[in-house]
Amino acid sequence: MQTSLQPIFIRGLRIDPPLLLAPMAGLTHTVLRQVLLGFGGVGLLSTEMLSAKRLPTENPAISPYLIRTASEKPLSYQLLISMAGEIARAIDVLHAVHADAVDLNMGCPAPAVGRFGAGFSLMEQPENVRPIIAEARKRTSLPLTAKIRLGTELDEQRLRSFCTMLEDEGIDMLSVHARLKHESFARRPRWEHIAGIKERLKIPVIANGGIFSVQDAKDCLAASGADGLMLGRGAVIRPWLFAETARELCGNSIAEPAVFLPTVYGRFLDLLFEHFTPERRLGRLKQFTTYFARNYAFGHHLATKVQASNSVEEARERASRFFAKAHNTVVTECTEKSLP
């Protein structure tokens, strides 16, 4: 049974500790990444999914999807892609912004994404995947990774042959969100099904889904035997979760995180002002707060008050009042129950 993790090396990229940030639309932008880096323990950061078709029209200096600071390294950029013809120009952009890795989204089950043949629908049409990987492989020597779900239904053979195909075509590392296409986030993730994939592949396999505590990370590792773990919502609720996990599972000598929730929230707000234009701030604050509020027994009050705010200033004021009253209602446990 696997109980610890070793650094991962792919094409000259060192992922140490092998703890990865999950790509999350509206959440994994420069501000959250910087907050995470403040605590440490992240081996590979990520953007949210970026439309390969639209990417060449974005201005990296002002695009909310592309702005980043030099400290955000290593940083993987995730592409939402449906055909090989979209690859070349998208990869040119990723080279220009100094991407450290390129990830291909093959797991997003949203119907709006599937209609264009992207996201999870690539898992349903493996014949469309080969030319995309072949073209990407031709265009870049950066690490090329993929993120998948377990499938439409449990079909071990189909899943394994899909993953083997990814490896054979040149994917360097595979992240697996341990749920089926239509399974909601409320369902317990099927970490044990990652073990079958790991057994088959030579490339590193990363387990994702439902890690909200160090204990979850240990359980996920034991069940999956993965080479690394990918944290999503758990790290939005607790940006220090990477640091805690790195200490426990990777023998990392990182300092024990000192956490004062209002300070973490304040840092997020300050960075929002620093990096985003006014019209981009409030939506991102609301989305972050939905998760961060889970640190409090009555966090739904915080989330509701921020949701109802008409400006970031108003939200900040309301949050300050909440923090002043709620300091002794901090919770130490958090589960997936009813989380979006």
Ligand X SMILES: Cc1cc2nc3c(=O)[nH]c(=O)nc-3n(C[C@H](O)[C@H](O)[C@H](O)COP(=O)(O)O)c2cc1C
- Residues designated catalytic: 108
- Burial of 135-166, coded b for 16+ CB within 10 Å and e otherwise, reads bbeebbebbbbbbbbbbeeeeeeebeebbeeb
Which segment (51-59, 100-108, 133-141, 320-328) binds ligand X by CB under 6 A?
100-108
Q: Select 74 or 234, whichever has its Cβ closest to ligand X.
A: 234
Counting contacts by CB under 6 A, is residue 147 touching ligand X?
yes
- Applying CB under 6 A, the site for ligand X has a residue count of 22
CA 109 – CA 114 distance, rounded (Å): 7
CA 255 – CA 50 distance, rounded (Å): 34
CB of 321 to ligand X, least distance (A): 27
The binding track of 280-309 with respect to ligand X, each residue x by CB under 6 A or -, is ------------------------------
Q: Select 41 or 210, whichever has its Cβ closest to ligand X.
A: 210
CB of 196 to ligand X, least distance (A): 19
Q: Select 29 or 247, whichever has its Cβ closest to ligand X.
A: 29
The distance in angstroms from the start CA to the end CA of the chain is 31
CB of 253 to ligand X, least distance (A): 25
Helices (H), the chain: 30-39, 87-96, 111-114, 121-124, 126-139, 156-169, 192-200, 214-224, 233-237, 241-249, 261-275, 278-292, 299-307, 312-326
CA 297 – CA 334 distance, rounded (Å): 10
Counting contacts by CB under 6 A, is residue 27 touching ligand X?
yes
> Which residue in 15, 36, 48, 176 binds ligand X (CB under 6 A)?
48
Counting contacts by CB under 6 A, is residue 22 touching ligand X?
yes
List the structure tokens of 265. Answer: 């929230």
Counting contacts by CB under 6 A, is residue 90 touching ligand X?
no
Counting contacts by CB under 6 A, is residue 209 touching ligand X?
yes
CB of 108 to ligand X, least distance (A): 5
List the structure tokens of 21. Answer: 């940030």
Inter-residue contact 267 to 292 (CB < 8 Å):
no
Q: Residue 116 burial by CB count (10 A; 0-12/13-18/19+): exposed, middle or buried?
A: middle
Which segment (84-92, 160-168, 207-215, 217-225) binds ligand X by CB under 6 A?
207-215
Among all residues, whose Cβ is closest to ligand X?
Answer: 232
List the structure tokens of 338. Answer: 């009813």
- Which SS3 state, helix, strand or coil, does residue 262 take? helix
Inter-residue contact 81 to 118 (CB < 8 Å):
yes
Q: Select 151 or 232, whichever has its Cβ closest to ligand X.
A: 232
* Residue of 107, 109, 43 whose CA lies nearest to 76: 43
Which segment (9-17, 105-113, 310-318, 326-334) binds ligand X by CB under 6 A?
105-113
Q: Per CB under 6 A, which of residues 222..261 are in contact with ligand X?
A: 231-234
Counting contacts by CB under 6 A, is residue 78 touching ligand X?
yes
Q: Select 144 or 326, whichever has its Cβ closest to ligand X.
A: 144
Binding residues for ligand X, rule: CB under 6 A, are 22-27, 48-49, 78, 105, 107-108, 147, 177, 208-211, 231-234
